[in-house]
């Protein structure tokens, strides 16, 4: 059997001790990420009833599962190049957000209607070079914002994962020009040692079409 590296040993030990990993394993949640969305939603009341929601970076499906339980007759589109565990009614698109083919599928599903909420838990492949990884993360933030410009209704909301570092403050300042309220938050379920934060933006002002 291949010998595990010290860093994967450390990862395994941390996973075993982690409160939210154990909660997910015991409670039937697909991933620890589930609790991050739950905590954000509790605070900002993002997910309600019959909304139309686009979820970017959905695999393995923790957020998808949470959304499926909370949306009551709404529409959910989940995008990721990796496999997503989802219910029958979720529209799963296998591919990268921002790709033409993926955009075309979203257009087809929405059929002229607009979204109430854009969510992204997308994370870039980590190179280990901080500036490169931060630039990739900011590119993903831009992809989410492009989705809002294309499909989000006026007064709609967006929540994305971001990483503290170069470019984030300016990006958030620009976001305040197109959303009425913007918060940067770190839910308890997000590891304290991680630079991960979530940007919650509500009251989109850039919508062009009626909902």
Assess whether 154 carries a catalytic annotation: no
Binding-site member from 97, 115, 137, 158 for ligand SAM (CB under 6 A) = 97
Q: Are 79 and 90 in contact (CB under 8 A)?
A: no
**Displacement of CA 166 from its chain's centroid (Å):** 20
Long-range contacts from 93-100, C-beta under 8 angstroms, 24+ separation: 97/56, 97/57, 97/122, 97/140, 97/143, 97/144, 97/147, 98/143, 98/146
Asked if 93 is part of the footprint of ligand SAM (rule: CB under 6 A), the reply reads: no
Asked if 117 is part of the footprint of ligand SAM (rule: CB under 6 A), the reply reads: no
Binding-site member from 54, 59, 92, 106 for ligand SAM (CB under 6 A) = 59
Residues 123-152 that bind ligand SAM (CB under 6 A): 123, 140
Binding-site member from 63, 151, 179, 204 for ligand SAM (CB under 6 A) = 63
What is the C-alpha separation between 110 and 194, in angstroms, rounded? 35
Binding-site member from 20, 24, 41, 62 for ligand SAM (CB under 6 A) = 62
Asked if 121 is part of the footprint of ligand SAM (rule: CB under 6 A), the reply reads: yes
State the residue number with the nearest CB to ligand SAM: 62
Query: Catalytic residue positions?
Result: 161
């Amino acid at each position: 059997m291949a010998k595990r590296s010290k860093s994967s040993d450390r990862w395994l030990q941390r996973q075993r001790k982690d409160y939210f990993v154990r909660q997910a394993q015991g409670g039937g949640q697909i991933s620890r990420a589930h609790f991050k969305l739950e905590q954000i939603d509790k605070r900002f009341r993002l997910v309600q009833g019959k909304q139309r929601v686009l979820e970017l970076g959905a695999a393995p499906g923790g957020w998808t599962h949470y959304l499926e339980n909370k949306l009551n007759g709404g529409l959910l589109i989940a995008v990721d190049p990796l496999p997503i565990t989802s219910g029958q009614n979720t529209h799963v698109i296998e591919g990268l957000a921002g790709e033409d083919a993926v955009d075309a599928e979203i257009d087809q599903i929405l059929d002229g209607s607009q979204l109430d909420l854009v969510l992204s838990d997308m994370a870039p492949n980590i190179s280990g070079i901080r500036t490169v990884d931060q630039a990739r993360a900011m590119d993903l933030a831009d992809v989410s914002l492009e989705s809002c410009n294309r499909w989000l209704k006026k007064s709609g909301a967006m929540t994305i994962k971001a990483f503290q570092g170069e470019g984030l403050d300016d990006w958030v300042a620009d976001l305040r020009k197109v959303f009425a309220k913007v918060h940067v938050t770190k839910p308890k379920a997000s590891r304290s040692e991680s630079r991960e934060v979530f940007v919650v933006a509500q009251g989109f002002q850039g919508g062009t079409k009626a909902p």
